[in-house]
Amino acid sequence: MTLQTVHTLRLAFGVWAAIAVSYGMAWQLSFITPLFATIFLLFPAWIGWRMAVQLIGRLSFSVLLGLLISEFLLDFPLICIMVYGLLFFFIYYHDTPLAPPFAAMFMTIGITIVPIMGLAGYGLPQFIALALVVNFVLGLVFAWIFHNIMPNTLAKQVPQAQAPKKPAPPAIPPREERIKQALTSTIVALTAVVIFFSFNLIAYAFAMIQVCFMVGAPSAKASADALKDTALSCCIGGLAIIVVFNLLVAVPTFPFLLAVTLLCTLFFSKQMFAGTAMSKTYISGLTTFLVLLGTSTTVEKVASINFYLRIGQILFAGLFAIGGLLLVGYLLDPDRRRILSLSFKRPR
């Protein structure tokens, strides 16, 4: 058995087990557990409980901040905007290669999803916050179990002529550049949050989250690439869920759900560890599939409607992020403004 096969089977059966248990027991927002399990099963080895506890603490702290914003600041827009600005700047400034994995994503989820749910009704933010933390912990548990059940030592060890060199530590941009990048990302993300909160766009909160993720790499090219990859992965996951949803309509039984999802996780896992140019796209495709599976099976909706709505929100988020980064980058770059203004001056 090769190491690639171990990674493929571990991810497929780990995610499938998370689906089987969470959908079978059906606790609150149980479909989120396989999503978190997927994130930590993608790592070539278990991250360790020390790092896991740090991530749990980071997510818990972020949802606590979200609860405080929802409870005390939503009625004071100016103060709320200033607090969001400080939080976004902190997240983007500290989002470096040396930061814990997915730390920025978990922080962003907590401070945005929880407060916007407060606009939908009393008690909903507390419910969402608790469900996020519980499902996050359960996702970590599934990842830990399958990293131990199917460790890398199951793979046949190939002797090497020499030990591999230790990779060089990732480069961190200078402080001034990090401040400029964080400020650019903060302005665009803050604008999106203000718009969505002001118009009470709770049903489209996914687009707001996507904007906050896409502006994490503050360049229009990076956001354009993220838009292309996310849209393509959404199409892959969306087409898969349309097929699966119609099969489940024809055979609405739990054993059949488990059989179909096992085939899907095996397919996605094989593509994700194939080492091709499309492998990263299939990672997002699997997460899209899991989200749409949960939202399509827990409510009486047609899966294709969720799919088209998700595509539309991704396109909006990408265009918003690209346009916002271009505009803010121009406003924050005096040299670029000076060159543009000189080009429009008429010669005397």
For the stretch 170-199, pLDDT in tens is: 667 788 888 988 999 999 999 999 999 999
| Residues 59-77 pLDDT 10s | 999 999 999 999 999 999 9
- Note whether residue 284 is domain-resident: yes
- At residue 335 the predicted structure's pLDDT band, cuts being 50, 70 and 90, is low
pLDDT at 340: 45
- Note whether residue 345 is domain-resident: no
- Note whether residue 348 is domain-resident: no
Residue 141: pLDDT above 90?
yes
pLDDT at 270: 95
More confidently predicted of 326 and 134: 134
Residue 346: pLDDT above 60?
no
Residue 223: pLDDT above 80?
no
∠ CA 92-224-203 to the nearest 5 degrees? 70
Element (H, E) at 54: helix 49-68
Distance between alpha carbon 321 and the CA centroid of its chain, in Å? 16
Element (H, E) at 104: helix 103-117
Residue 161: pLDDT above 50?
no
pLDDT at 231: 81
How far apart, in whole angstroms, are the C-alpha atoms of residue 114 and residue 298?
Answer: 20
> Which residue type occupies 144?
W
pLDDT at 268: 96
| 144-148 average pLDDT score | 97
Of 132, 140, 139, nearest in space to 34 by CA: 139
The DSSP output letter for 158 is P
> Which residue type occupies 184?
T
- Note whether residue 191 is domain-resident: yes
| Residues 164-175 pLDDT 10s | 455 555 667 788
What is the pTM (predicted TM-score) of this model? 0.86
Query: Which burial class, exposed, middle or buried, applies to 220 when counting CB atoms under 10 A from its CB (0-12, 13-18, 19+)?
Result: middle
Q: Tokens representing 327?
A: 């505009």
- At residue 304 the predicted structure's pLDDT band, cuts being 50, 70 and 90, is low
| Residues 94-138 pLDDT 10s | 886 666 667 888 899 999 999 998 888 788 999 999 999 999 999
Q: Tokens representing 185?
A: 């990302």
Residue 298 phi/psi, 5-degree rounding, is -95, -15
Among the listed ranges 113-117, 146-150, 154-158, 291-295, which one has the minimum average pLDDT value? 154-158
Q: Are 274 and 10 in contact (CB under 8 A)?
A: no
- Note whether residue 341 is domain-resident: no
Total number of domains in the chain: 1
Q: How many CB atoms lie within 10 A of CB 184?
A: 22
- At residue 330 the predicted structure's pLDDT band, cuts being 50, 70 and 90, is confident
How far apart, in whole angstroms, are the C-alpha atoms of residue 320 and residue 246?
Answer: 33
- Note whether residue 171 is domain-resident: no
pLDDT at 314: 82
Domain of 274 in residue numbering reads as: 3-156+176-336
The DSSP output letter for 273 is T
| 216-236 average pLDDT score | 76
Q: Tokens representing 153?
A: 């030592």
pLDDT at 102: 79
Q: What percentage of the chain has pLDDT greater than the value 70?
A: 86
Q: Are 32 and 135 in contact (CB under 8 A)?
A: yes
How far apart, in whole angstroms, are the C-alpha atoms of residue 97 and residue 113?
Answer: 25
| 203-223 average pLDDT score | 81
Mean pLDDT across the chain, nearest whole number? Answer: 86
| 324-333 average pLDDT score | 85
How far apart, in whole angstroms, are the C-alpha atoms of residue 199 and residue 207?
Answer: 14
Give SS3 for 128: helix
Q: Tokens representing 8?
A: 């493929």
The DSSP output letter for 201 is -
More confidently predicted of 226 and 331: 331
- Note whether residue 299 is domain-resident: yes
CA distances for 332 relative to 211, 235, 319, 325, angstroms: 20, 35, 20, 10
pLDDT at 133: 96
pLDDT at 224: 74
Q: How many CB atoms lie within 10 A of CB 243?
A: 13
Query: 168: alpha, beta or left, given left = phi > 0 and alpha = psi -120 to 50?
Result: beta
- Note whether residue 28 is domain-resident: yes
> Which residue type occupies 71?
E
